[in-house]
Structure 1
């Protein structure tokens, strides 16, 4: 369909969500068929009257939802079966973001605990290599989000439970872009990923020591810290440590 028919979005709040919702509706209606390529980032920005950063966030949301895939050097394409998704996470507003962090905390704390019970030396080495890659990124102020994603997946893999790993892979797709933004676009520069890295080391130490309780608490520390860095205060009833005063 002609791009000129796409509605321009004028309302300033949460522009990326509105752009992604508009594109999602068109995908679900079949305006963009499975396998079809979306317009370029530049064209979408001009069409919707928003910045390219807003378009990138919208594309990242659609990718996390499994509606599109991006190909290096080629652009964004609709997935082959976008209507098959029954469960997706959409952090639309502070309340939804809080609920997602609650979900992450419940899942990732238990995963870390189980990993501490079952990890092998090989599992620990994979986690350590992920942290080493993040250290290199920190030292050069580069994007270490891929290593960040891999670290969390390595913890899930250390449970030696294929369903835990599949769930972690799903959640990882949802949060990959938020981790990337923490590395690249955070207003505090590299301090945010440095704080996260300190928390990662606590998690690795507990898992390496085979201490399930410490691993669970370290995961709580990390998730509470991650939430606070985006302005979310997790409730006390999730367990783990108390919030910072």
Structure 2
């Protein structure tokens, strides 16, 4: 059914994209059972860990549902994650910048509420997510999942269930755009340090219970993210390998 996976793209991203395409095309319809983990490993030529991560991403995106003792099944269609595919580099850049515009007011308000409502336990979890970003980057990773976890932890600290659900959903919808943003920032050491300082400024304001400062710090972080993308040279936007990694990650 599937061809073996290879190439520069992260394997879990590629497997998730392949399975998502089967679902979106209708070849795997609502209620269909995915091939077993063993079958996917054999057909795609990847490890069990890769298959599990890919299926986890599909589950987070609402495409599939694991059922205890029965397997993984395709879910009913719903609003699908944002399509970042673009015919021109200019379109890709515009879409990623639009993603940042969407995040700015939402995450600013989440930081504002978190500064007023976060419990001591919430603050510990936020600090842990920042440490996880540093650890991921130090280990050579892109830090995308850890970055998303940091912003989710802020939303969770608001105590607003709708805010939490919205940020969680948008995290999966906008994953590809966040990956492009971090890929751009990873090209330069000063960018990496700027992002780190901006994240820590958000948390410091939340810890200080300064709601206005927390909102301003979150909005400023995303404003700077947009500026860093605007300043990226044409080579960044036209490098096929970078764009394939990031756009394919949008499930």
Stretches of structure 1 lacking an aligned partner (at least 5 in a row): 4-15, 43-58, 70-76, 234-245
- The answer on whether the counterparts of 2:115 and 2:214 sit within 8 Å (CA) in structure 1 is yes
Q: 1 or 2 for the larger relative contact order (CA 8 Å, sep ≥6)? A: 2
SS in structure 2 opposite 1:129? helix
1:167: how far off? 0.9
Query: Could you give the per-residue CA deviations for residues 128-173 of structure 1, whole angstroms, max 9, x where no partner exists?
Result: 1111222333444444333222111110011011111111111111
Residue in 2 aligned with 1:173? 172
Correspondence for 2:74 among 74, 80, 90: 80
Stretches of structure 2 lacking an aligned partner (at least 5 in a row): 4-12, 47-54, 66-70, 86-91, 233-251
Q: Which residues in structure 2 correspond to 1:134-149 (within 5 Å)?
A: 134-149=133-148
- The answer on whether the counterparts of 2:81 and 2:174 sit within 8 Å (CA) in structure 1 is no
CA RMSD of aligned residues (A): 4.0
Matched, 1:32 2:31: no
Answer 1 or 2: which has greater helix percent.
Answer: 2
Query: Could you give the per-residue CA deviations for residues 63-109 of structure 1, whole angstroms, max 9, x where no partner exists?
Result: 8754469xxxxxxx98621x421253223434433332221112111
Looking at structure 1, the residues matched to 223 and 195 of structure 2 have their Cα atoms a distance apart, in angstroms, of: 10
TM-score (norm 1): 0.62
Looking at structure 1, the residues matched to 140 and 184 of structure 2 have their Cα atoms a distance apart, in angstroms, of: 11
Shift in alpha-carbon separation, 1:204–1:79, aligned structure 2, 3 A: farther
The number of aligned residues is 196
Shift in alpha-carbon separation, 1:221–1:35, aligned structure 2, 3 A: farther
Matched, 1:197 2:191: no
1:211: how far off? 1.0
TM-score (norm 2): 0.61
